[in-house]
Amino acid sequence: MGTFTNESDILAQPGFHIDCEAAANVLLRRLRFLETKRVAAVSLARAKAADAQSKAVAVVAEYDAAEEVLRLRFEEELRLWSKAELAPSKRRSLKLDEGSCVFRTVSLSIKVVDSDLAIAYAKAHRMKVVNRTIVFKLAAAAYSALASVKFKKSKVWLPGLKVTEEHETFEIVVTPA
């Protein structure tokens, strides 16, 4: 094996072979050294990333807070002004130099949120929206459709539903710089 002062020099020699315990230990020591350095580098990178990430989160939080203040103060005014500007036309969005003000109508939404309650009601009223396999399974779309029909007649929603009435939304879309 010759005499070398640095283990990496030893390992770089073409004549070096793992032919004894000492040679194996040289290799293992170098591998351990490299693994220790790798782990330290990863930890350092993570620490720096976490530090940079926390700074980024703080900056984003400042921007979010500033945006929220502006929206709380001016969004309703902008909505009313935009609606007035759009009133003479049938358009639903108002294009401005820096972005757009958009109105959208969201349709009625009926979703089953409590299947057990809906199944119990459907079974009690002999509705053909429950499939029996090993367990009872609700045909949610059919139940929702039936609920809509029943509502039109009785003005009462069936149990187990979450109903979101049709409503208008307002969105501010800012044009990217």
What's the pLDDT tens digit per position in 54-72? 777 777 778 888 888 788 8
Question: Would you say residue 46 lies in a domain?
Answer: yes
Tell me the two tokens of residue 36. Answer: 């220790």
| Residue 48 and residue 115 in one domain | no
Is residue 45 pLDDT above 60, yes or no? yes
Tell me the two tokens of residue 23. Answer: 């040679």
| Residue 113 and residue 67 in one domain | no
| Residue 19 and residue 66 in one domain | yes
| Residue 132 and residue 74 in one domain | no
Last residue of a domain, one of 50, 78, 106: 78
| Residue 67 and residue 100 in one domain | no
| Number of structural domains in the chain | 2
Tell me the two tokens of residue 66. Answer: 């500033």
Phi, psi dihedral angles at 6 (to 5 degrees): -115, 130
What's the pLDDT tens digit per position in 87-132? 999 999 988 888 889 999 998 888 888 888 888 888 888 877 766 6
| Residue 27 and residue 73 in one domain | yes
CB atoms within 10 A of CB 114: 14
Confidence of residue 2 (pLDDT cuts 50, 70, 90): very low
The DSSP annotation for 26-60 comes to HHHHHHHHHHHHHHHHHHHHHHHHHHHHHHHHHHH
**Which residue would you say has higher pLDDT here, 167 or 45?**
167
Question: Would you say residue 85 lies in a domain?
Answer: no
- Its domain, for residue 14, covers 7-78
pTM, to two decimals: 0.48
Query: Quick one: residue 126, left, alpha or beta (phi over 0 = left, psi -120 to 50 = alpha)?
Result: left
Could you tell me where the DSSP H helices lie in the chain? 7-12, 21-86, 115-124, 140-154
